[in-house]
Homo-oligomer: A and B are copies of this chain.
Amino acid sequence: MLDQALARDIIAAVDAGFDEQVRETAALTAIPSLRGQEASAQDFMAAQYRRRGLSVDHWKIEVADIQHLPGFSPVAISYDNAYNVVGTHRPREKKGRSLILNGHIDVVPTGPADLWTRPPFDVYEKEGWLYGRGGGDMKAGLYANLAAFDALARLGLQPAAEVYQQSVVEEECTGNGALACLQRGYRGEAAIIPEPMGDCVLSGQLGVMWFQVKVRGKPVHVAYAGTGSNAIEAAWPVIQALHELEESWNAARHEMWQEHRHPINFVVSKIAGGDWTSSVPAWCTFDMRISFFPGMELERVRREVEETVRKASAKHSFLANNPPEVVYHGFQAEPYVVKDADAALACLEGAHRLAFNAELSRVATTATTDARFFGLYADTPALVYGPLAEDIHGFDERVNLDSLRKITQGIALFMADWCGVEKRH
């Protein structure tokens, strides 16, 4: 239990640094670190870590190093620019428990820029919110990890245990960035990931899988369309059949998601097909993101998906003999329910109470996070705990600054309690 005076000092120290924190968060958000283009944002993070005297490990992820590990997801793009950065603080004398402060640097695409009020990477503050793609998900959280460390430094203190500041790539599509941290040997006695949780802590997350369905057609001149087979039109009943599978999974609701209206979502999120407006299209490929409850193995998920595609195709004159191909790349993410985390959760509840003057709620999310790597493959309690954000993955994404300030205080208080503190050199 944290000393009351120290807690007050930490809260004040976060407040004192908050203007700078917002400025730096805005600068980080302005770097368009879309998947495959994270390298310069990682240079920014490495410089931030170095400035604080952390020892910096800045390495390129090699698929060969991780592809045999549990939790690996197949990769569709080159990793030529896929760099992780970890900044490590080592205490003079270890007295407390070590801590991983993890966040991801990659942001999702903006969609049509004209649907944003201002350009997606033209970051601005308005009425207590900071706007910009990736600010909520999750650069505000990523930088809060550093700002919490800074708050202790402002008091002449530092954690009395190892603290690993991790900035990882690939969270939005595979999680291979977090996996690469495990492969490199990083371990802690707890991990915090400040994803935009709306001031709550994660109790569990769904499994998430991406796949692509490649539908073929028989092209003819459109003037004789009836003699061909339209691959775009043929994709539709396949999508509808997958939605029926979605509803059957929603009907068999897991107890942790009882209060969600519609926890399982199968989303056809990308589509492409056809080459020429006057030819019946010979191909249509759609991408789907699906989710599933704890208790379902990845193998079973894939089997049910493929069976559904096969059955829908059997009813179609052309697809019956030319069944679509199902290809998996991107997320093959197992569900994760937080467990064996009582000590860390109790510590976070205390910190949260001091920062927010309110109790910490636990919520199950319908998304996935990198927490699964720590929890499932490294026996590390992973606390996903972060600020309020809106329209992540949408237009005018924004993070609430008052929430960010208090979350930063919560992380700083947790760090001081979990790791203990010692005087800086």
A-to-B contact residues, CB < 8 Å: 108-112, 115, 137, 172-173, 206, 208, 210, 216, 218-226, 228, 230, 232-233, 236, 239, 261-262, 265, 267-284, 286-289, 291, 330-331, 365-367, 391-395
Do residues A394 and B218 form an inter-chain contact, with CB atoms below 8 A? Answer: yes
For the A-B complex with A172-B276, A220-B393 known, give 19 more contacts whose Cβ atoms are closer than 8 Å.
A108-B276, A108-B279, A112-B282, A137-B221, A206-B223, A208-B278, A210-B277, A222-B269, A222-B291, A222-B393, A223-B367, A230-B268, A230-B269, A267-B278, A267-B280, A269-B281, A270-B277, A271-B271, A271-B274
Q: Which of B111, B236, B276, B392 contacts A393 (CB 8 A)?
A: B276
Do residues B273 and A270 form an inter-chain contact, with CB atoms below 8 A? Answer: yes
Docked Cα-Cα span, A283 to B271, in Å, equals 10
Q: Which of B109, B226, B395 contacts A275 (CB 8 A)?
A: B109
Shortest distance in angstroms between A102's beta carbon and chain B's nearest beta carbon? 19
**Contacts A112-B282, A270-B281, A272-B271; is A261 near B173 (CB within 8 Å)?**
no
Shortest distance in angstroms between A368's beta carbon and chain B's nearest beta carbon? 8
- Cross-chain pairs A/B with CB under 8 angstroms, 13 sampled: A108-B279, A109-B275, A109-B279, A111-B219, A137-B221, A210-B277, A210-B278, A221-B367, A225-B262, A232-B270, A271-B274, A271-B284, A280-B393
Docked Cα-Cα span, A268 to B271, in Å, equals 13
Q: Which of B110, B223, B391 contacts A220 (CB 8 A)?
A: B391
**Contacts A224-B366, A393-B221; is A269 near B265 (CB within 8 Å)?**
no
Q: Which of B210, B225, B269, B278 contacts A173 (CB 8 A)?
A: B278
Which of A206, A274, A276 has its CB near the most chain B CB atoms (within 10 A)?
A276
Shortest distance in angstroms between A290's beta carbon and chain B's nearest beta carbon? 9
**Contacts A220-B394, A366-B224; is A278 near B272 (CB within 8 Å)?**
no
**Contacts A108-B279, A112-B283, A270-B281; is A219 near B394 (CB within 8 Å)?**
yes
Q: Which of B216, B222, B268, B283 contacts A267 (CB 8 A)?
A: B222
Do residues A283 and B233 form an inter-chain contact, with CB atoms below 8 A? Answer: no
Shortest distance in angstroms between A261's beta carbon and chain B's nearest beta carbon? 7
In the complex, which residues of chain B have a beta carbon less than 8 angstroms from the beta carbon of A331?
277-278
**Contacts A236-B236, A265-B225, A366-B223; is A275 near B270 (CB within 8 Å)?**
yes
In the complex, which residues of chain B have a beta carbon less than 8 angstroms from the beta carbon of A395?
219, 282
Docked Cα-Cα span, A273 to B112, in Å, equals 11
Do residues B267 and A111 form an inter-chain contact, with CB atoms below 8 A? Answer: no
**Contacts A109-B276, A279-B109; is A291 near B394 (CB within 8 Å)?**
no
In the complex, which residues of chain B have a beta carbon less than 8 angstroms from the beta carbon of A392?
221
Shortest distance in angstroms between A317's beta carbon and chain B's nearest beta carbon? 15
**Contacts A172-B278, A367-B221, A394-B219; is A230 near B267 (CB within 8 Å)?**
yes
Shortest distance in angstroms between A163's beta carbon and chain B's nearest beta carbon? 29
Shortest distance in angstroms between A8's beta carbon and chain B's nearest beta carbon? 37
Docked Cα-Cα span, A267 to B283, in Å, equals 14
Do residues B111 and A282 form an inter-chain contact, with CB atoms below 8 A? Answer: yes
Q: Which of B232, B275, B366 contacts A268 (CB 8 A)?
A: B232
In the complex, which residues of chain B have a beta carbon less than 8 angstroms from the beta carbon of A270?
232, 273-277, 281
**Contacts A173-B278, A270-B275, A277-B287; is A223 near B111 (CB within 8 Å)?**
no
Closest to A278 in B: B289
